[in-house]
Amino acid sequence: MGLSGTIDVDSLSGFSKLRTLSFMNNNFNGSLPDFNKLSGLRSLYLSNNQFSGDLPKNAFESLARLKKLYLSKNKFTGEIPSSIANLRKVIEIKFDGNKFSGKIPDFKQHNFTLNLSNNALEGSIPASLSKMDPTIFSGNKGLCGAPLKTCDSPTSPPTIQSSAPSPALPTTPSPAPSPAPPKTPAIWLPTIVFLVVTSIIFATLTLLLICCRSRVQPPHSIEAPPPTSGASQKNDVELSFLRDDRERFDLAELLKSTADVLGSGSFGSSHKAALSVGSSMVVKRHKKMNNVGKEEFIKHMENLGWLRHENVLPLVAYCYRREEKLLVYDFVENGSLAVHLHGYQTLRKPH
């Protein structure tokens, strides 16, 4: 919106029912305002501004109901305040693209989304975050520990050697060389060759059986990812929503819903998924994007999420999976993009 200056929190404190506050993509500067005066906030979006300076340790201690906090791409410095780690109801925190330093606080939350990439954080990653996706810590050269590289153990001080000559030790006779192992009789050679060839044939038949089973699967079903264990693996198949005005649903519900094929091409296929809540979504499955890195893919999806045009369906959510990428849109009845642009009359063939 191009707004600048500072945010007057006092003028907003009179709105007791204020739940969401968004000043993203502006030019506000200075230190972080005292949002503790707005204790009823559920969501606070301040990404892509010019805020700077250290955050007080109690910056968010009065926002007990806060669920989403976006401070990405500002100029904040200093340590991440410990009051954030104590927000029990928070489900999404984005602090990437700042200059935060020091150690990461020990977050108490469970099953929440976190992004601390591209800062100056250092030290060991807390055990509570050890199963997170490693990309959320990228761009912090001083971080170590799971899920990143192991921290170096402290080096021991060098030992001081005495200059006094050590007494000569009595020499012990060297042990007699052990006899060489007996050579394999030539009679065993055919047996070894037979076992090796049999193992190769068995492995080949197993691979062919797996390939045949994968080909007989229904071509138009929306397949769920294989069952995994651990928090980091769970995050790999999690839906990431780009719009706050859409009712939330998880990936399992989307994949179990009734699916109608809308079309397919060289890049993938599109399906209409009818959710249990009554709404319908369009799931686009892209298999030609498997060479795209996760961090690059997420960046492109966030850019698509900001697109707004009356003739373009906004991207609602996305999912990064190793074997394919899923893009979720609203389902629009009656017609394609060409119909909405030109109408039905111009698309009809002449008699």
**Max avg pLDDT among 125-134, 218-227, 287-296, 306-315:** 125-134
Listed residues 95, 110, 144: the one ending a domain: 144
Residue 157 lies in a domain: no
> What tens digit of pLDDT does each residue of 188-206 get?
677 787 788 788 887 888 8
> Which string of DSSP letters, residue by residue, matches 326-337?
EEEEE---S--H
Residue 99 falls within a domain, yes or no?
Answer: yes
> Which CATH number does the domain housing residue 263 bear?
3.30.200.20
List the strands of the sheet with 4-5, edge to edge.
4-5, 27-30, 50-54, 75-78, 99-102, 120-124, 142-144
Helix/strand/coil percentages in the chain, nearest 5: 25, 25, 55
- Render pLDDT for 302-324 as a digit per residue (tens, 0 to 9): 877 777 776 667 788 888 877 77
Instruction: Determine the Cα–Cα distance for residues 318 and 91; give it in Å rounded to an integer.
Output: 17
Whether the model pTM is above 0.85: no
Domains contained in the chain, number: 2
3-state secondary structure of 171: coil
In the DSSP assignment, the letter for residue 323 is: S
Q: Residue 226 falls within a domain, yes or no?
A: no
Phi, psi of 137 (to 5 degrees): -110, 0
Host domain of residue 95? 4-144
Residue 52 is classified by DSSP as E
Q: Is residue 152 part of a domain?
A: no
**For 64-87, how does the pLDDT look when each residue is reduced to its tens digit (9 = 90+)?**
899 999 999 999 999 999 888 888
**C-alpha–C-alpha distance, residues 261 and 268, integer Å:** 11
Q: Looking at the domain assignment, is residue 252 inside a domain?
A: yes
Name the residue among 65, 58, 102 with its Cα closest to residue 84: 58
Helices within the chain (DSSP H only): 9-12, 82-85, 189-215, 231-236, 251-256, 294-305, 337-342
